[in-house]
């Protein structure tokens, strides 16, 4: 079985979730919030959850998301962004259900695998009943479920 949960994420159990950033594709001023990578800062460590190049496996890295089209942009890149859009990070730590996860200690990490043994998702649970389920489908990362503590 191929499991891609880095040991550092397992080591983060017990540490609080400090920040949540969603990375969405923005085109013509509109963000498609149906899918996209997610970055969680747990304790002092950032973890980026995204899909692998095979389009069905989960990738988890201990890194913050970095905008490849951050300013200053070349004229060529500026034209590309205007015509095609770009991925953009949004801090959602204080928005809606996400806010209820902030300062919740991570209590469990469970990899989700398919019949071929590929890790296609993950469930992160918090000490007070919160849970976040992420899954890869059709080359995109989706939040399959978000349960927050009472």
* pLDDT tens, position by position, 33-55: 999 999 999 999 999 999 999 99
What is the domain range of residue 87?
A: 7-147
Model confidence at 135: pLDDT above 90: yes
Tell me phi and psi for residue 73, to 5 degrees.
Answer: -95, 145
Number of domains in the chain: 1
Q: Percentage of residues in the chain with pLDDT exceeding 70? A: 98
Instruction: End-to-end CA distance of the chain: give it in Å, rounded.
Output: 35
Token pair recorded at residue 106: 């991570």
Whether 62 is covered by a domain: the verdict is yes
Model confidence at 149: pLDDT above 60: yes
Whether 1 is covered by a domain: the verdict is no
Give mean pLDDT, residues 127-137. Answer: 95
Whether 139 is covered by a domain: the verdict is yes
3-state secondary structure of 97: helix
* pLDDT tens, position by position, 62-104: 999 999 999 999 999 999 999 999 999 999 999 999 999 999 9
Model confidence at 144: pLDDT above 50: yes
Burial degree of 79 (CB within 10 A; 0-12, 13-18, 19+):
exposed
CA atoms within 13 A on the CB side of 81: 17
Q: Percentage of residues in the chain with pLDDT exceeding 90? A: 90
Res 22: pLDDT: 97
Pairing mode, strands 30-32 and 131-137:
unpaired
Model confidence at 133: pLDDT above 60: yes
Whether 95 is covered by a domain: the verdict is yes
Mean residue pLDDT of the chain comes to 94
Distance (Å, whole) CA 18 – CA 6? 19
Whether 70 is covered by a domain: the verdict is yes
Whether 2 is covered by a domain: the verdict is no
CA atoms within 13 A on the CB side of 147: 10
Name residue, tokens 């919030």.
Answer: 33
């Amino acid at each position: 079985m191929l499991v891609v949960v880095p040991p550092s994420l397992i080591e983060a159990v017990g540490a609080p979730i400090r920040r949540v950033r969603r990375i969405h594709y923005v085109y013509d001023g509109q963000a498609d919030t149906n899918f996209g990578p997610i970055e969680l800062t747990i304790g002092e460590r950032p973890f980026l959850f995204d899909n692998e190049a095979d389009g069905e496996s989960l990738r988890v890295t201990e890194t913050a998301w970095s905008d490849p089209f951050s300013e200053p942009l070349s004229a060529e890149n500026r034209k590309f962004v205007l015509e095609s859009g770009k991925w953009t990070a949004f801090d959602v730590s204080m928005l809606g259900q996400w806010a209820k996860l902030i300062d919740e200690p991570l209590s469990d990490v469970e990899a989700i695998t398919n019949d071929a043994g590929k890790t296609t998702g993950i469930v992160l649970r918090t000490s007070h009943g919160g849970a976040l389920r992420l899954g890869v489908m059709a080359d995109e990362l989706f939040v399959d479920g978000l349960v927050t503590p009472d």
